[in-house]
Amino acid sequence: MSLFRSEEKIAAIREACQIAATVLHKMKAAAVAGITTYDLDQLGRREMEALGAKSACFNYDPGSSINPFPAHTCISVNEEVVHGIGDIRRFLKEGDVLSLDVVVDYRGFIGDNALTIIIGDGKPEHIHLVDSTKIALEKAIRAARSGKRVGDVSHAVESFIKKQKLGIVRDFVGHGVGESMHEAPQIPNFGRARSGPRLQAGMTVAIEPMITLGSPKIEMLSDGWTAVTRDRKPAAHFEHTILITEDGAEILTIPNI
């Protein structure tokens, strides 16, 4: 599959990304103490359907021994890094670190984005974690432009996060995105500047720092999907799908609000 998109395909990906961002925005607004993560997931499903899209996560089958993904969105709380599954028994509470990841399929094209918030008032160290992860994504996006290499983006995240004394998850990475959810190139959140594949105008990629308050090591829960920090300290996750241009990066996951 080509990594470079025609103007027609870029327009279609932009539409998918706008839908994904709009759904994420509405889920964020609904995320308050007392709501269950299942109800948040179902809100996401309804919002996708209302906009003519469907979840790219629901029934996603990685082709391994685990069951297909059973939820419409990924909802990860506190020590859950990514791929958390909504649960009718899990109520959000004050101080929770909540990561929401929305991936939609709209007419055969993918939009992918994520963010992390704190429910109510958060501990200073949790605020530092969330704010630093968001800034790391912003720095990575500024490093992404035609002619640069993947390592320049990766290094932008790593060099900033190391100064914040936070952990960088190495088991999951950013990726190309467009006509399927995970395409080349892989975009780690660590690496050497001026290394890796070259970025070129017309590429669409998802950049997604996954940062921990403590150790970056993770383990998988028994559901086969939910990744948690091994030391059970909180994690944060931010993601945008961007278009590489000659002048920099255009963020495609902007909500229509």
Q: Model confidence over 216-228: pLDDT tens digits?
A: 999 999 999 999 9
Q: Looking at the domain assignment, is residue 80 inside a domain?
A: yes
- For residue 92, pLDDT beyond 60: yes
- For residue 106, pLDDT beyond 50: yes
How many CB atoms neighbour CB 238 within 10 A? 23
For residue range 151-181, list pLDDT tens digits in order.
Answer: 999 999 999 999 999 999 999 999 999 999 9
Report the CATH number that the domain containing residue 19 is assigned in CATH: 3.90.230.10
Q: Looking at the domain assignment, is residue 257 inside a domain?
A: no
- Per-residue pLDDT, averaged over 183-206, amounts to 97
Angle, helices 37-50/7-30, rounded to nearest 10 degrees? 140
Q: Looking at the domain assignment, is residue 256 inside a domain?
A: no
Give the single-character DSSP code of 200: -
Total domains in the chain come to: 1
Do 175 and 183 contact (CB within 8 A), yes or no? Answer: yes
Q: Looking at the domain assignment, is residue 83 inside a domain?
A: yes
Q: Looking at the domain assignment, is residue 247 inside a domain?
A: yes
- pLDDT band per the 50, 70, 90 thresholds, residue 231: very high
Residues forming beta bridges with residue 115, ordered by sequence position? 100
Structural domain that includes position 217 = 7-251
Separation of alpha carbons 155 and 10, rounded Å: 27
Q: Output the pLDDT for position 63.
A: 83
Q: Looking at the domain assignment, is residue 1 inside a domain?
A: no
Collapse the DSSP code of 4 into the 3-class scheme (helix H, G, I; strand E, B; otherwise coil) and give the result. Answer: coil
- For residue 54, pLDDT beyond 60: yes
Q: Output the pLDDT for position 2.
A: 55
- Per-residue pLDDT, averaged over 65-71, amounts to 92
Residues forming beta bridges with residue 80, ordered by sequence position? 228
| For the chain, counts of helices (H) and of strands (E) | 4, 15
Give the single-character DSSP code of 199: P
For residue range 14-24, list pLDDT tens digits in order.
Answer: 999 999 999 99
What does the mean pLDDT of the chain come to? 97
Backbone Cα Rg of the chain: 17
For residue range 26-53, list pLDDT tens digits in order.
Answer: 999 999 999 999 999 999 999 999 999 9
Give the single-character DSSP code of 162: H
Do 19 and 255 contact (CB within 8 A), yes or no? Answer: no
pTM equals 0.97
Collapse the DSSP code of 102 into the 3-class scheme (helix H, G, I; strand E, B; otherwise coil) and give the result. Answer: strand
- Per-residue pLDDT, averaged over 46-67, amounts to 93
User: Tokens 């094209």 — which residue?
Assistant: 109
- pLDDT band per the 50, 70, 90 thresholds, residue 1: very low
- pLDDT band per the 50, 70, 90 thresholds, residue 66: confident
User: Tokens 């909802």 — which residue?
Assistant: 75
Could you give the percent of the chain with pLDDT greater than 70? Answer: 99
Give the single-character DSSP code of 51: T
- Per-residue pLDDT, averaged over 55-80, amounts to 94
- pLDDT band per the 50, 70, 90 thresholds, residue 134: very high
- For residue 132, pLDDT beyond 90: yes
Separation of alpha carbons 225 and 69, rounded Å: 7
Residue 154: Cβ-neighbour burial (10 angstroms; 0-12, 13-18, 19+): buried
How many CB atoms neighbour CB 108 within 10 A? 11
Q: Looking at the domain assignment, is residue 205 inside a domain?
A: yes
Do 85 and 71 contact (CB within 8 A), yes or no? Answer: yes
- Per-residue pLDDT, averaged over 102-129, amounts to 98
Could you give the C-alpha distances from 220 to 39, 105, 136, 149, 166, in angstroms and in order?
24, 26, 25, 31, 21
Q: Output the pLDDT for position 62.
A: 87
Q: Looking at the domain assignment, is residue 2 inside a domain?
A: no
